[in-house]
Amino acid sequence: MPPTAGAPSPRAASAPRLALVRTLPAVPAPRLPVLPGEGADDAALDRAFTAAAARYWHPVARSVDVRRQPRAAMLLGVPLVLWRPVASNGVSALVDQCPHRGVPLSSGTVDEDGRLRCAYHAWAFAGDGRCVEVPQQPDRRIPDVVAARRVRAAEGAGLVWACLVEAADEARARPRFPEIEDRGWPHHVGAVQDWSAQAARQVENFCDIGHFSVLHPDTFGNPRVRTVDPYPVHRDGDTVRAEYHYPAVDPLAAPGPDGRRPVGETHLRYRIELPFGVWLAGAHGPGSVMFVVSAPTTATTLRLFWMSAFDPAVHGDGPVDGAALQAVEDRIWAPDRRIVESQRPVRLFAANEVHRAFDALGVAYRRALRDLGFAPSTLPPTPTPTPTPPAPTRPTSAPRVSLVRHMR
């Protein structure tokens, strides 16, 4: 309704309040903290990472998980389909997309002749990707261009490996695990894990000696020894190597009267198989070797494969107790995964982080990845770790701890 005669209008009455607001002093906006690496060109980092990684072999499945029927996988954002054709003893891999209407071939079936049939129109594909049958046109010749894209695949060390480029463009041959592939050591291929983290972050974590005593006190970590003595690191072609003597706690032993579990010197020998594999001797005691490979499903996610092998001259030639070994490793992987998935920025080369002398292996690994093109050339180089005074060397006369004495 209109205002009463003689009374001030609401618009007029509000004018003085607006005037008061205009006279208030301006309040400056707060300066928010900026995380290291924030604002980096993530697209450029991902392009460099993906282009470099595509030139290497990566595991995409365990061999035991690939049977006759198709199985989906992912490598560097490329969907794959894996299966075992009847006429071949190996595994075939194709890009998981039918060239006809784009349906995932992994949703199809393998017929009695070992051909992969699309779920949509039942087109049949051979192991090399050629379309060999179109049921809707049984009498027509199929042009060679009607094919799914083949991806090179191979098996080794209980894993199925794939490489997205042709042989002429690959950076190196597939990493081998000679203890399993050549020497036939008893072994266990562990359960596969999917992490929301960059593959390089996981490799660096696995090779990070300084976190053992902090993050793993309930398994092998020794909370009473956090000092990390200096250790040598060597780059040799496609590998980065280091050795360290760590006073590990036996994760399988019961605490003694003092509440402590047995401690013994563990000789760890690292060999990083660039870009994302790690061969580690001594992880489960003398005569043991562990092989861990972090496969990049995308530029910022990974699928983790691992296995352990045991020298029969030390442990006997009986089967490995895989369930017991898996249970111990699950307890170790869990806190590692939690930490790595929490790291920011997600992309290793978006980070502006400080380094200390005990980070020597991680720093050497980062430099090796840079040399291989995993970071844009415009990024500043990885800084040299700050040296720390050498610590007194611990006695090495303590007995070695076998972490597998209940696993055989």
Residue pLDDT, tens place only, 287-346: 999 999 999 999 999 999 999 999 999 999 999 999 999 999 999 999 999 999 999 999
CB 360 within 8 A of CB 368: no
In the prediction, which pLDDT does 388 show?
53
Q: 296 and 359 in one domain?
A: yes
Q: 228 and 149 in one domain?
A: no
Give the end of a domain, one of 120, 136, 169.
Answer: 169
Q: Which of 217, 219, 222 is nearest to 398 (CA)?
A: 222
Do the domain assignments include residue 49? no
Do the domain assignments include residue 122? yes
Do the domain assignments include residue 107? yes
Task: Specify the pTM.
Answer: 0.84
Q: 262 and 183 in one domain?
A: yes
Give the end of a domain, one of 116, 139, 169.
Answer: 169
CB 269 within 8 A of CB 282: yes
In the prediction, which pLDDT does 88 show?
66
**Total domains in the fold of the chain:** 2
In the prediction, which pLDDT does 56 show?
98
Write out the residue range of the structural domain in which residue 259 sits: 178-371
Q: Give 371's Cβ-side CA count (13 Å radius).
A: 15
Do the domain assignments include residue 109? yes
Q: 232 and 105 in one domain?
A: no
In the prediction, which pLDDT does 87 show?
61
Do the domain assignments include residue 400? no
Do the domain assignments include residue 395? no
Do the domain assignments include residue 383? no
Report how far residue 317's alpha carbon sits from residue 278's, in angstroms, rounded to the nearest whole number: 24
In the prediction, which pLDDT does 399 show?
37
Do the domain assignments include residue 284? yes
Residue ranges in the chain modelled with pLDDT below 70: 1-40, 87-88, 379-408
Q: 150 and 99 in one domain?
A: yes
In the prediction, which pLDDT does 255 show?
81
Report how far residue 72's alpha carbon sits from residue 88's, in angstroms, rounded to the nearest whole number: 19
Give the end of a domain, one of 118, 139, 169.
Answer: 169
Q: 183 and 142 in one domain?
A: no
CATH number at residue 85: 2.102.10.10
Instruction: Say how many Å lie between the first and final Cα of the chain, rounded.
Output: 91
In the prediction, which pLDDT does 259 show?
77
Q: 183 and 165 in one domain?
A: no
Q: Tell me: the pLDDT tens digits for 209-239?
A: 999 999 999 999 999 999 999 999 999 999 9
Using only C-alpha atoms, the chain has a radius of gyration, in whole angstroms, of 28
CATH number at residue 198: 3.90.380.10
